Amino acid sequence: MRKSALDPARATVGDVATAMFQVDSRLRQLHGDPVHESREYRHELARAFKTADPEQVVDGFCTLLYLLMKWLGEACETTGKDVAEEVVPYTVRCLTQMTRNIEREAVPTMGGMLVACTLGLSPTLWRRQYGPWTRGELTALEATAVLLAEQVNCWAGDPEAAGRLVLGALDEAHEQNGEEVR
């Protein structure tokens, strides 16, 4: 069987660690976690973004979408539900309600990226075919990752589940590539 041009194996993984750090920061902020307010935490976050390659961070956010949707898809399957029916409409609905921060024009792109994930396609490669990212899409991409991480945490009944899922995937990838795990 011929591989799709949008096969995740063909996509760059990007800077998943920095993207997840940003998602974790937003979740901590939303939940009033005092760690988010600490000077040390804010300094670490600023340092991570100062040294990061922006394009790699965007690719990292796309990889986060893929990993989180994969987990949510597996969780849906265990209950006989379809991730495309459960998660995609909920996430799109949430994005459309974020009228102060999310441009309406960016919402269909996020919906398309989530559907690409449900089909086993790379959201990075799916989005790339439409040209450069707009500022509004980048804001929506971050918000989408936060919404998905929050759904993983809620479904797992654990406020750290998404972070552990992503760190576990990173560790596994590093081990498979013979790289030292940080």
The predicted-structure confidence for 71-122, as pLDDT tens digits, reads as follows: 999 999 999 999 999 999 999 999 999 999 999 999 999 999 999 999 999 9
Judge whether 6 lies within some domain.
no
CA 113 to chain centre: 11
Residue 12 has φ and ψ, to the nearest 5°, of -75, 145
Number of domains composing the chain = 1
- Which of 34-38, 89-93, 135-139 has the lowest average pLDDT? 34-38
Judge whether 19 lies within some domain.
yes
Spatial distance between the Cα atoms of 23 and 150, rounded to a whole number of angstroms: 9
Asked if residue 59 lies in contact with residue 124, where contact means CB atoms within 8 angstroms, the answer is: yes
Nearest Cα neighbor of 112 from 142, 88, 146 is: 88
Confidence of residue 179 (pLDDT cuts 50, 70, 90): low
Judge whether 1 lies within some domain.
no
At 91 the pLDDT is 98
Judge whether 7 lies within some domain.
no
Domain extent at residue 120: 13-176
Would you say residue 170 has pLDDT above 90? no
| DSSP secondary structure letter of residue 119 | T
Mean pLDDT, residues 137-161 taken together: 97
Judge whether 8 lies within some domain.
no
Would you say residue 36 has pLDDT above 80? no
Q: Residue 89 corresponds to which tokens in the numbers above? A: 């409409």
Judge whether 181 lies within some domain.
no
Percent of the chain with pLDDT over 70: 95
